[in-house]
Structure 1
Amino acid sequence: MKKITLPALTFFSVLAIISCNRTKDTCELPEAYLKIPVDLEIVRMEDLYFEELTREKLLYNQEKYPEFSAAMFDNMGFQNQDQMVDELLKIHGDSGMQDLYQEVKVHFDNIENIEESLENAFRGIKHHYPDFKIPQVYTFVTGFGSDLIINEDIIVIGLDYFLPEDHPFQPVDLPYYILKRYNEQHLVPTIVTALSSQFNHIDVKDRTLLAEMIFYGKAYHFTKTILPCTPDEYIIGYETKEILGSYANEEMIWGHFIENELLYETNPFEIRRYTGEAPFTDVISPDAPGRIGRWLGWNIVDDYLINNDLSLQELMEQDDAREIFSKSGYKPR
């Protein structure tokens, strides 16, 4: 495969793309979203497990919050309740864990911004899906064991993962290109993208690269619709320069996919090259950001909606990736 050296953006191309981007400073949430009542209470479980924890208090927590306990501790391999209690008392009494908890308390003493952002996100989802049941949301200090646990009933936010980038406490097993997305700006968009999976219909028999690209494109469009004032960078997890560079070189990137007949590729290894986590898409160019196939899928989905009069529900229910592509009329900008 021929690799591409992506040229630098011109001043005018940067201005053109920036002028099309909406930010929180120039955007207001739809009034229809704001009219939907949402009463969200985030339970700060770290306080219950790190402040003067005793056996009795731990057992009480387990009984009062069984969904949290099951989500957080059932996969830790405890053989019985006594072992679980003993180990959890040891873990949460550890000096290093206590130090981590104290740092989380300093940086996340007030989580009103997170709570407000989640409330607005849930309003948006309920506007499009009135039967959507708002999950119970918990925060916790996991010792870098779990960043986010998300399903239809529960969300657990591991706040230790979202400490500032220059903080001395950081997960040691994450490369920087992933670690830089662990911040408050990416938190709610990541949660909404994960929640989109329950609405994102797929054809399980279609295992092509195109199908995976469209799946992610629908997920990102869902998140942008629910969080219209959130910059694209925080939805897809690119830096601004990566967004700008990708748009400036979209024709060459798309040309690589067409010339190498990639859209209907079914080899999982090849698919991962274009949609999997990576610092860059090396088979295209060292300047092309990782997961570039997801970004292209988002553009295809956006064009599909521009050229077809569909609601968000209709888009998410469409499981035919080839039809989405064929009716998108997609062409690089």
Structure 2
Amino acid sequence: MAKNLRIGKSYSCGRPGTLLVFFLLILLGACGKSDQSCQVSSEVAAIPVDLKIERLEDLLFEAKNNDAINYFLDSHPDFTNKYLQEELYPSREALVTTLSEIPRDSLMAALYQEVKSNFKNIRQLEKDLENGFKHIKYYFPDFKIPKVYTFVSGFTSDLYIDNDMIVIGLDYFLPHDHKFQPPEIPEYLAVRYDEAHLVPMIITAISSRYNETNLKDNTLLAEMIFYGKAYHFTKAMMPCTPEELIIGYTSDELAACYSNEQFIWTHLIEKEAIYETNPFEIRKYTGEAPFTDVISTDAPGRVGRWVGWNIVDAYAERNNVELKTLMEEEDARKIFMQSAYKPRQ
């Protein structure tokens, strides 16, 4: 599928200075954090955000000739330059030729039709993103509303996010049981790639712009706090979103975390793991995996991130810290010490 198409991937989902990658998301269990703050305030609702997502896959697949493709590229210079990376092609003609071949590829044509069938309209996606952007602009008034495009990437790019533009590869977010699935994503990650997880994934990626961190602190604790702040940010921007959709656990996995919170925390303390600096050891607690086997094969992967989220929540609540102040706090140890975090009994 579109083997010669170069597509940029620019969003950062991990703590600066690490090789870890964010993946996220899924449904609220009975023992999770409450959604008492679910109501959207009138101040947030009043913030003017008029979001219209442009479906660029239609412009490409319905282009009648090369002139139409050229016009498509000229009228979307940000997409052309940053996503398609036109500078990597020997000429504009070479890029146009590559793009013109995509609709004629039988697999790409079939994939496009499946995307059109499964995403007949994207009104709910627009509404959810607009609501998230309203919240971000409320807390961070300098936030610039990006252009948002959809595209069919041929499973080469799920999301591209920078300060000015978001491109959503809708082919990645087809239903989990769909016949077309991203070939390089393992099953335990693929279950999070559907429409329900899309907006939390975008908002969490955006959180990295505001998530200050001390790059000299290479401990597991710093990694945990970084992710905890990211999830705390996303929950603030999407107050009605179940925490499973933010952290990326199933309801059973989340329930297991709460049921075994004392056991998980005892392991981290007794092993002095939170002060670990070896990146390979840190990855055992925060890296993508089907389970956190250093604790237990029954513990879901990335459980260190979940503990970090609980620590950050405790710190913010105990000290009545505003979101902007929290995101600017670089001192992970301060957040930990002043959180007085204790596992729930």
| TM-score greater than 0.5 by the shorter chain | yes
- Per-residue displacement from partner, 1:157-179 (whole Å, max 9, x unpaired)? 00011111111111111111100
CA contact (8 A) 2:44 2:134 kept: yes
Q: Are 1:141 and 2:149 counterparts? A: no
Shift of residue 77, structure 1, vs aligned partner: 4.4
CA contact (8 A) 2:231 2:309 kept: yes
Unpaired runs of at least 5, structure 1: 1-13
Structure 1 residues 75 and 290: alpha-carbon distance in aligned structure 2, compared to 1, 3 A threshold:
farther
Distance 1:245 1:31 in 2: 36
How do 1:193-208 and structure 2 match up within 5 A?
193-208=204-219
CA contact (8 A) 1:276 1:291 kept: yes
Q: Secondary structure at the match of 2:221?
A: helix
How do 1:93-104 and structure 2 match up within 5 A?
93-104=104-115
Unpaired runs of at least 5, structure 2: 1-28
Q: Are 1:320 and 2:326 counterparts? A: no
- Which residue matches 1:279? 290
Distance 2:121 2:137 in 1: 26
- Which residue matches 1:151? 162
CA contact (8 A) 2:292 2:302 kept: yes
Q: Secondary structure at the match of 1:198?
A: coil
- Which residue matches 1:308? 319
Give me the CA root mean square deviation: 1.6
Q: Are 1:160 and 2:160 counterparts? A: no
Q: Are 1:129 and 2:140 counterparts? A: yes
Q: Are 1:297 and 2:308 counterparts? A: yes
CA contact (8 A) 2:155 2:172 kept: yes
Shift of residue 75, structure 1, vs aligned partner: 7.8
Distance 2:122 2:172 in 1: 15
Distance 2:187 2:120 in 1: 26
Equivalent position to 1:330, from 298, 316, 341: 341
Amino acid at match of 2:141: P
- Which residue matches 2:130? 119
- Which residue matches 1:67? 78
- Which residue matches 2:266? 255
TM-score (norm 2): 0.88
Q: Secondary structure at the match of 1:93?
A: coil
- Which residue matches 2:35? 22
- Per-residue displacement from partner, 1:210-259 (whole Å, max 9, x unpaired)? 11110000000000001000000000110011111101100100111111
- Per-residue displacement from partner, 1:13-39 (whole Å, max 9, x unpaired)? x85x16x5339xx94322221111110
CA contact (8 A) 1:53 1:89 kept: no
Q: Which is bigger in relative contact order (C-alpha 8 A, separation at least 6)?
A: 2
- Per-residue displacement from partner, 1:253-308 (whole Å, max 9, x unpaired)? 01111111111111111111111110100111111000001000000000101111
Distance 2:277 2:176 in 1: 37
- Which residue matches 1:85? 96
- Which residue matches 1:38? 49
CA contact (8 A) 2:63 2:69 kept: no
Calculate percent identity across the aligned residue pairs: 55
- Which residue matches 1:58? 69
Equivalent position to 1:189, from 194, 200, 210: 200
Distance 1:182 1:62 in 2: 28
Greater helix share, structure number: 1
Distance 1:192 1:43 in 2: 19
CA contact (8 A) 2:86 2:95 kept: no
Distance 2:172 2:295 in 1: 31
TM-score (norm 1): 0.91
Distance 2:158 2:86 in 1: 15
Shift of residue 83, structure 1, vs aligned partner: 1.9
Distance 1:96 1:286 in 2: 39
Shift of residue 62, structure 1, vs aligned partner: 1.1
